[in-house]
Amino acid sequence: MAWEGWLTITVVLMVLGGLASGIASPVGVLFAALAILMSAAALTGSDQLLDPTQAVQGFGSTGMITVGLLFVVAAGLTRTGAVSLIANPLLGKANGLRSAQWRMLTPVAGLSAFLNNTPIVALFLPVVDDLARRLQLPASRLYLPLSYAAILGGTCTLIGTSTNLIVNDLLAQRPGGSSLALFDLAWVGVPATLIGLAYLLGASAWLLPDRSDALAERLDPRRYTVEVEVVADGALVDRSIEAAGLRHLPGLFLVEIERNAQLIPAVGPDEILKGGDRLVFAGVLESVVDLHKMRGLKPATDAIEDLDEPRHERCLVEAVVAEACPLVGRSIRAGRFRERYQAAVIAVARGGRALTGKLGDIVLRPGDTLLLETHPSFIERQRDARDFYLVSGVEDSAPPQHDKAWIALPILAMMVILASTPWVSMLNAALLAAIALIATRCMDLREALANVDWNVLLVIGAAIGVGQAMNNSGAAAAIGTQVMTLTAGQPLLTLIAIYLLTSLATELITNNAAAVLIFPVAMAAAESLGVSATPFVIAIMIAASAAFATPIGYQTNLMVYGPGGYRFSDYVRFGLPLNIIVMGVALLIIPRVWPL
């Protein structure tokens, strides 16, 4: 092996060390690696490293672009409440830990087979909060199973994870290479998911800690008073408080119902909702935002309808009333708040007190915190004004377009159907779905671009460039030869070695980077053995996705690390057995479906 190969191996080891230690972001580490390899090639005139064209070719790969488009599709489904439309009926009937896990993990695994795992987990994080507080369960026994279920579901289809798409794209680019079909991975993914879910349900109660305090510490001490109205002919009409999911809402208390000018205090769980009912709640901001997004409810104030901007373009804003505000000492209605500020007050917080009376009749005082529905431009207009002490936007608070959910779901179904045919590529199907979601106004172009995780795409593009250097320098062939030597040229032992190598690398760095770096090694080993590359490709896809033993192995594992109050040892104790289970299933099935 020439010096170029040793340099590339050294750079790759530095990448692995940098990512595993966390001294820099994955984007920074991989871009530094590209810079070193390109600079070395330029200074020495070597053609066995990376020229600029090869270094950036990963950023134009079909796999990377497909991943970006799937972020857009997932955002459209979230924006319309389509995912909640599927999940909420299941989750609302949970009555214990096992029941809650089963009803949550099943839809998560199913959705993750067709959507990127990251937005799916992001969507279900508040659902875990809701389940944990409503059923008085330790959230630490829900968050990590949520991440693992999303990972398991992603192994079932070609579009389940970005890793699958990237590796499949690398396979298609090889001379004489052919892409895998949408459901080829299901041979391994479905059995692994079913067995994995059974493990999660059986082992979480005794392998995961009870860290209930991690969630309790994050509760907002403010108590908002908020009024909502049951939409006539909406989804909640003629349903009981219990069935509608309004009983024991996390951090939110149903104070009373006003129906036909009559008050119903101390509302029981069997009370049947009617169209036009005005419901008064008191509770924390996070739950008020969730209430704001619920199908079948709308803010009780008429000012919502009088705002100029379309509702899907609005957001929620918190504003603290200043002493200089001209409306101090006047009620919200009498002060004509909506006309003055082009914003509708949907909730008011005054310390820890629950305010009485109608929202519009509340007399404002300095220090009151108002929750407003308005256009995002309100923040810039009022940030430096004297009327409010503090103005801040509430993250992810745009009202869902529930009426568009029945448009978004068929678009998702059509994308899956098209991608499963031999005539339409996954890129083409995802592009058509993204265009359809924007054309039908399920979301606008600005929202689509804002929901793309650009860091993930940059990591993918840079990792492909480093993988190309592994090929050019002969490092991949040398490592493949060494693997062949250690496995005595036995295809099955080589397959096991590639799986273990990918799994180990994935637990130390990002899954996409690990898959791209191991791919050329696997291809070199397959060529040396004179066998089909497909079994090795499947092994890389499964091993790079099935990362359960560390928080840094998969992005969703990191997403639940803080909210669940976990420690590194929790991942090893609960995730390592799942790694072994999935590996056993994969290595048992792969050689039988794709003979070596």
Q: What is the pLDDT along the chain (596 residues), one digit of tens a residue?
A: 788 888 988 988 887 788 667 677 778 888 998 999 999 988 888 888 888 888 888 788 777 788 788 788 878 887 887 876 766 666 666 677 888 888 888 888 988 888 777 767 766 776 677 677 667 788 888 889 999 999 999 999 988 887 888 898 888 888 776 788 889 999 999 999 999 999 999 998 888 887 665 444 444 556 788 888 898 888 888 888 877 877 666 677 888 888 888 888 878 888 899 998 988 888 888 778 878 878 888 888 777 777 777 777 788 899 999 998 999 999 998 988 988 888 889 889 887 676 777 888 889 999 999 999 888 888 888 888 889 988 988 877 777 787 888 899 899 888 878 877 778 877 888 899 999 999 998 888 888 888 787 877 887 788 778 878 877 887 877 776 777 778 877 899 999 999 998 888 787 666 777 788 888 888 888 888 888 889 999 999 999 988 898 776 677 886 677 677 787 788 889 999 999 999 999 999 999 999 87
As beta bridge partners, residue 263 has 258
Select from 361, 393, 425 the last residue of a domain: 393
- 389 lies in some domain: yes
Residues 70 and 120 grouped into a single domain: yes
Distance of CA 53 to the CA centre of its chain: 32
Residues 186 and 236 grouped into a single domain: no
**What's the confidence (pLDDT) of residue 326?**
92
Residues 363 and 444 grouped into a single domain: no
- 306 lies in some domain: yes
Note the residue count of the chain.
Answer: 596
d(CA 590, CA 596): 9
Cβ pair 228, 590 in contact under 8 A: no
Residues 360 and 454 grouped into a single domain: no
- 169 lies in some domain: yes
Residues 155 and 168 grouped into a single domain: yes
The total of structural domains in the chain comes to: 2
Distance of CA 245 to the CA centre of its chain: 23
- 148 lies in some domain: yes
**What's the confidence (pLDDT) of residue 90?**
66
- 200 lies in some domain: yes
Query: Which amino acid belongs to residue 265?
Result: P
**What's the confidence (pLDDT) of residue 126?**
60
d(CA 586, CA 84): 32
Distance of CA 307 to the CA centre of its chain: 32
**What's the confidence (pLDDT) of residue 215?**
43
**What's the confidence (pLDDT) of residue 569?**
82
Segments forming the whole domain that contains residue 359: 224-283+296-393
d(CA 80, CA 84): 9
Give the DSSP H or E segment for 280: strand 278-283
Residues 43 and 76 grouped into a single domain: yes
56 burial via Cβ count (<10 Å: 0-12, 13-18, 19+)? middle
**What's the confidence (pLDDT) of residue 297?**
87
User: 215-222 — which CB contacts under 8 Å span 24+ positions?
Assistant: 215/129, 215/132, 215/133, 215/139, 215/563, 215/565, 218/563, 219/251, 219/284, 220/251, 220/284, 220/285, 220/286, 221/352, 222/284, 222/285, 222/349, 222/351, 222/352, 222/369
Burial track 462-499 (b if 16+ CB lie within 10 A, e otherwise)? bbbbbbbbbbbbbbbbbbbbebbeebeeebeebbbbbb
Residues 448 and 560 grouped into a single domain: yes
Residues 195 and 316 grouped into a single domain: no
pTM (2 d.p.): 0.67
Residues 274 and 356 grouped into a single domain: yes
DSSP 383-444: TT-SSEEEEEEPTT-PPP-GGGHHHHHHHHHHHHHHHTSSSS-HHHHHHHHHHHHHHTTSS-
- 233 lies in some domain: yes
Select from 378, 393, 408 the last residue of a domain: 393
DSSP 138-200: -THHHHHHHHHHHHHHHTSSTTSSHHHHHHHHHHHHSTT--PPPTTTTHHHHHHHHHHHHHHH
- 524 lies in some domain: no
- 195 lies in some domain: yes
**What's the confidence (pLDDT) of residue 216?**
46
Residues 143 and 206 grouped into a single domain: yes
Q: Which of 417, 406, 410, 415 is nearest to 434 (CA)?
A: 415
Select from 393, 411, 435 the last residue of a domain: 393
- Where residue 235 sits, what CATH number does that domain have? 3.30.70.1450
Structure tokens at 459: 């990591």
Residues 184 and 82 grouped into a single domain: yes
Distance of CA 89 to the CA centre of its chain: 20
Q: How far apart are the first and last CA of the chain?
A: 28
Residues 329 and 381 grouped into a single domain: yes
